[in-house]
Amino acid sequence: MKENSIFFKGILGGLQVYIDPHMDLDVLKEKLKEKLESSKSFFKDTYVNIVFTGRDFKEKEKQDLRDFVAQHINIGKIDFHDPAEKEAEEGEEEKTEKIICGTDEGMTKFYKGTVRNGQRIDYQGNIIVMGDVNPGAEIVAAGNIIVLGHLRGMAHAGVNGDMDAVVIALRLQPTQLRIGNIITRSPEDEVEKPDYPEIAYIKGDNLIIEPYTPGKIKY
């Protein structure tokens, strides 16, 4: 069996599973079980969305996979993308991308309390921290990051390459800030810190930080 006969990709709120069109269903379930078992702690207490793509499934196979996945994780939504419809879907996605901004709704993890030095919160969706993020702490999200407090640690939004992701904090003072593959650091000689909420987002090839205005997300 070729190595690329099945592979997994993290998407907002879950997993995308690409399958070789000729893969046997039992082999697929075996590989899927390995992935879900190895990620069980990551998916704990989380409803996971899964998108199967690469082959056309019969209705009986779809139900079989739904039942199988449900034995290992909490299922959010399971979609099956028919390869024959791929071209049409990509066309629709292109239109959608033009009107959807980086605060697109998706699965969200809430963390209550202070994220302390040495702690790391990693989630394939949006992360909302109801507290401070101390220096030495890390917040890593496939989607957006919102901190209802001081953000003094490291924040990486859009970790899977989503350049529309945003970072918002009541006090945005990160040691390191990333969105997608663009990174910035706080100036070492900056003395005065803003005492108002700020938003960080990507515009062109630049990471922009400016005062946050409710209702105005992307510029």
The rounded distance, in Å, linking the Cα atoms of 73 and 38 is 12
pLDDT (0 to 100) of residue 26: 86
What would the two tokens of residue 160 be? 């899977």
Surface-to-core class of residue 132, CB atoms within 10 Å of its CB (0-12 exposed, 13-18 middle, 19+ buried): buried
- The sign one gets for the Cα dihedral 176, 177, 183, 188 is negative
| 43 contacts 35 by C-beta, under 8 angstroms | no
| DSSP H helices in 144-199 | none
Surface-to-core class of residue 201, CB atoms within 10 Å of its CB (0-12 exposed, 13-18 middle, 19+ buried): buried
For the question of whether the overall pTM of this predicted structure is more than 0.75, the answer is no
Q: Which residues have C-beta within 8 Å of that of residue 43, sequence separation ≥ 6?
A: 36, 73, 74
pLDDT (0 to 100) of residue 24: 82
Task: Sketch out the chain's domains with CATH numbers.
Answer: 3-97 (3.30.750), 108-211 (2.160.20.70)
Per-residue pLDDT 10s for the chain (219 aa) are 444 467 766 655 567 778 877 788 888 888 888 877 776 666 666 666 788 888 888 888 888 888 888 887 776 678 887 655 444 444 444 433 333 334 455 688 999 999 999 999 999 899 999 999 999 999 999 999 999 999 999 999 999 888 999 999 999 999 999 999 898 876 555 555 677 899 999 988 888 888 987 765 544
Report how far apart the first and last C-alpha atoms of the chain are (Å, whole number). 48
The rounded distance, in Å, linking the Cα atoms of 15 and 71 is 16
- Single-letter residue type at 125: G
3-class secondary structure, 218:
coil
